[in-house]
Chain A
Amino acid sequence: MSMSLLEYARTGTPVEELFICDAHAHMGPYFNFLVNDEGSPGAMVRSMDRLGIDLSIVSPHIAITCDFREGNRHAYEAAEQFPGRILPFVVVNPNFPAAETEAEIARWDAKGILAFKFHASLHGTDTLNDGYTPAYEYANAHSLPILSHSWSGAGGPLKVIETLSGRYPNIQFVNAHSSSGWSVIDASCELAERFERVWLDLTGSRLVYGGVERMVARVGAERILWGTDSPFIDPRPGLGRMLCADLTDEDKRKILGENARGLYRL
């Protein structure tokens, strides 16, 4: 590269030399704040172009709130509209009967399922809810990752991952929002240190000074994934934080895209 990644951020230059994957994105409007341009797929891709983001993996806001089926449809439609730029997570809501979840998974199985996204918090439950079982079983049978807003449940994330990883030996567990404050960083690192199938996702709004550097020092760069929550949050702060981090460009390259490429078989 002709200039450092930090210089890209300083000058607002699209980072076209690297593969950059936003491995935690959303889509569409949201109920309790303004999302400009309604967070449309087109607006997202224009934003990605401006920054040099190659690919975003999305779970629409409607899917993680009121209507997971409509949201999954939006995500697959966006992926068809912008091939190679947007890929869908499949969202399930465990409050619905298992037969409906199985039908929803079967609906997208024919088109291919990359991974699942759980948002137990917005769905008013936790990740040990039996309603998630069809998704866990599918993910385990196909060796897929699951991105979860948090690994919530009785005993806390350590106990939950211990339970789930024992039950489902082929699932990769992506822990969202792993860097949102110091206590979260330390707890997330402990999770990754204890369980080799745990990946740490950097998505978040409170980007503490030196936080990502501590994460890399503790667990290495190889199981850290970059994501932004866009368009829930603008993607630029997350990108700027990574480009300016006090890390080697090689570590930044892994975190910004290469790790996601491997995990999601892109």
Chain B
Amino acid sequence: MASGSDREGGRLRWLDCNARIGAWSNPQPEQFMDAAGLTDAWDRVGIEGGLVYHAWGWEWSPARANEMLLEEVAAEPRMRPCYVALPHATHEMEPVLRFAAQVRQSRGAVRIFPAKHGWSTQDWCAGALFDALQSTSVPLLVDITQVSWDAIAGICAGHPRLNVIVLETFYRVDRMVYPLMERYPKLHLEANTYAPFLGPEGIVSNFGAERLVFGTAMPELDAGGPMALVSYADVSEEDRAKIAGGNLLRLLGEEE
């Protein structure tokens, strides 16, 4: 995943903020687990690259998963690491400032699974982690099955310079999303399953195209759906390019 313009040769640059590699507990025969499978899937639909997390970090050990992830992405320049994080107090990971600096140096991001991993996003538990990510300009990704909208509000309120990308929201969310978008300018949505009728147009006209980030959720979900949500959006070509890839580049600090 190279830095550079969000359009190259007049074509959209598609960059995926939400992809996964590694083994997990209940794969289907159609799904891939390895990096080669992901790059093949990206190639099929024309996605240049993106942020990748390791399934072990979801279902086993974030620390071990991040080590494995770094080995994988070192061999695949199209992939940027999306580390899985835990709060600091149990010392299961590097101290948070050292961890955040490492993520920043690798131009990666951090994903959290508070519900599955059994911790709270409130500051008494995770404030130090979020402070560290904020101070190093590392984006935080979380899917909405893992936190409540109240928790999202709490993270954004307590850490107003932290870029947050909420993933896999589906379509019944605007009565929560709109007031949060109004209040917290660093809040972003993955333009994947965010599929209210004319939803992307509503976000762009009310809050700006900077707030949507393309992602696929492969190998769980299909890539064609989120791609069409962006490619057919009734927005300017400049805004479309931001959503397809430009915003992710910006959030990872690679804006031209």
Contacts and interface: CB of A to CB of B under 8 A. Distances in A.
A63 to B, nearest CB: 17
A209 B219 contact: yes
Interface string A237-255: 1111111111000000000
Contact of B201 (A11, A32, A36, A214): A36
Contacts of B44: 6, 244, 246
A142 interface: no
Contacts of A208: 28, 220-222
A240 B195 contact: no
Given A47-B197, A230-B197, A231-B197, A236 B46 contact: no
A84 interface: no
A211 B225 CA distance: 13
Interface residues of B, number: 41
Q: Which of B12, B45, B196, B232 has the most CB of A within 10 A?
A: B232
Contacts of B207: none
A240 to B, nearest CB: 2
B175 interface: yes
Contacts of B73: none
A22 to B, nearest CB: 13
A12 B228 CA distance: 7
Is the interface on chain A under 10, 10 to 19, 20 to 34, or 35 or more residues? 35 or more
B49 to A, nearest CB: 16
Interface in A6-61: 6, 9-12, 32-37, 39, 43, 47, 50-51
Contact of A12 (B175, B201, B231): B231
- Chain A binding surface, main DSSP class: helix
A241 B174 contact: no
B202 A238 contact: no
Contact of A244 (B28, B198, B222): B222
A210 B216 CA distance: 13
Contacts of A98: none
B192 to A, nearest CB: 8
A246 B28 CA distance: 16
B55 interface: no
Contacts of B15: none
A213 interface: yes
Given A10-B46, A214-B30, A236-B232, A35 B225 contact: no
Contacts of A206: 170, 193, 221
A222 interface: no
A205 B223 CA distance: 13
A210 B30 contact: yes
Contacts of A12: 228, 230-233, 240
A50 to B, nearest CB: 6
Contact of B224 (A33, A205, A230, A241): A241
Contacts of B57: none
B227 A234 contact: no
A182 interface: yes
A128 interface: no
Interface string B160-172: 0000000000111
B46 A33 contact: no
B212 to A, nearest CB: 13
A6 B221 contact: no
Contact of A240 (B46, B202, B228): B228
Given A205-B193, A234-B229, 16 more contacts: A12-B230, A32-B172, A33-B196, A34-B175, A35-B196, A50-B232, A207-B222, A209-B31, A209-B220, A210-B222, A214-B28, A236-B232, A237-B226, A239-B228, A240-B222, A240-B229
Interface of B: 12, 28, 30-31, 41, 44-46, 170-175, 178, 193, 195-199, 201-202, 218-234, 240
Interface of A: 6, 9-12, 32-37, 39, 43, 47, 50-51, 182, 205-211, 213-214, 230-234, 236-246
